């Protein structure tokens, strides 16, 4: 489940073939509350970054095998690692080497011997930029009203989970669209501030029910929300959707026009599929939307679900 804005300690990878240098840098940074990892050579560093990208890399240049310049070039050529700031920490103190390092994409170049306070200050500065960038990226993926993921983040996760399920044909993927009934009339009668409160309460209900890390509730647009349930079959997905529907109904959010309904309720249309090359995740959205339409036309405040394989409805 999406956990909102995250504030975690910074991770720093130190790459140097000299054990004494690794020990010294770890001692210097011991009181900075960083998660420190070390790599004794370039090859090890690349594997470490691929497995768990750090927030910043301190990189020596002269090393056996891949030198620091080669490691930097490889990292900057990889879309997944290109934005990790790299600080060269080296005995090479001529302007040609410094210029080459910066041209390869390093954010800083510190020559040995170095002052401990200089190392600390440079790291603090560059990690501050990392945190600011990460915060902006997280904010760009949040719906500002409900503080749950927005459509942009949802699209990213849909593509990711669809691709993951494709690699294992036995993993079902379930999705649903939730619509708040007669919400425009609620807004017109109660005012937008009350409508906003209702949407926030419904969003909070969804996130409380979706407890698994990969489950996702997102703002789909207006009074519609989206539910993403990886590795969830139809029976499990319908159970979750029905739980959400009943819990929203139990909130008893007053509807101002008694002739329409006494309380706000939600209609949910969902679908479950075993992803295959013959279909795309947009088809899941279309099927869920069709089921939502049926739920609304069948009296609202209900869940309509279906499942399908490529070319076969169930």
Active-site positions?
Answer: 223
Nearest CA among 305, 299, 304 for reference residue 182: 299
- The SS3 assignment for 270 reads strand
What's the CA dihedral at 305, 308, 312, 313 to 10 degrees?
A: 0
* Measured CA angle at 153 (ends 150, 159), to 5 deg: 135
Distance CA 275, CA 308 (A): 9
Write down how long the chain is: 314
Distance CA 46, CA 290 (A): 47
Long-range Cβ contacts of 26-29 (<8 Å, 24+ apart): 28/116, 28/119, 28/120, 29/119, 29/120, 29/123
Contacts of 112 (CB under 8 A, 6+ apart): 89, 90, 91
In the numeric block, which tokens belong to residue 26? 């770890």
Distance CA 243, CA 238 (A): 8
How far apart, in Å, are the Cα atoms of 195 and each of 101, 147, 164, 254? 55, 15, 37, 11
- Please check whether residue 263 is in contact with residue 254, taking contact to mean a CB–CB distance below 8 angstroms: yes
Contacts of 96 (CB under 8 A, 6+ apart): none
Distance CA 284, CA 237 (A): 14
């Amino acid at each position: 489940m999406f956990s909102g804005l995250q504030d975690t300690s910074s991770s720093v990878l130190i790459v140097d073939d000299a054990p004494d240098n690794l020990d010294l840098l770890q001692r210097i940074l011991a009181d900075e509350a960083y998660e420190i990892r070390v790599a004794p050579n370039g090859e090890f560093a690349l594997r470490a970054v691929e497995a768990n990208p750090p927030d910043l890399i301190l990189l020596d240049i002269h090393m056996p095998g891949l030198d620091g310049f080669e490691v930097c070039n490889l990292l900057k050529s990889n879309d997944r690692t290109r934005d990790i700031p790299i600080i060269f920490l080296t005995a090479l103190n001529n302007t040609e080497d410094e210029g080459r390092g910066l041209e390869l994409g390093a954010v800083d170049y510190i020559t040995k011997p170095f002052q401990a306070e200089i190392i600390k200050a440079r790291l603090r500065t560059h990690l501050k930029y990392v945190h600011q960038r990460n915060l902006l990226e997280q904010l760009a993926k949040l719906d500002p009203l409900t503080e749950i993921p927005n459509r942009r983040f949802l699209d990213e996760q849909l593509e990711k989970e669809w691709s993951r399920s494709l690699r294992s044909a036995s993993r079902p993927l379930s999705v649903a669209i939730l619509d708040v009934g007669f919400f425009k009339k609620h807004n017109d009668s109660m005012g937008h501030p009350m409508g906003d409160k209702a949407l926030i309460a419904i969003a909070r209900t969804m996130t409380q029910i979706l407890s698994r890390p990969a489950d996702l509730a997102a703002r789909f647009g207006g009074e519609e929300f989206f539910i993403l349930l990886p590795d969830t079959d139809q029976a499990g997905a319908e159970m979750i959707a029905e739980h959400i529907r009943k819990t929203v109904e139990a909130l008893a959010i007053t509807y101002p026009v008694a002739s329409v309904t006494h309380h706000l309720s939600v209609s949910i249309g969902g679908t479950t599929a075993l992803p295959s090359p013959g279909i795309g995740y947009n088809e899941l959205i279309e099927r869920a939307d069709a089921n939502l339409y049926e739920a609304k036309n069948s009296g609202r405040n209900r869940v309509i679900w279906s499942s399908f394989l490529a070319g076969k409805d169930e």
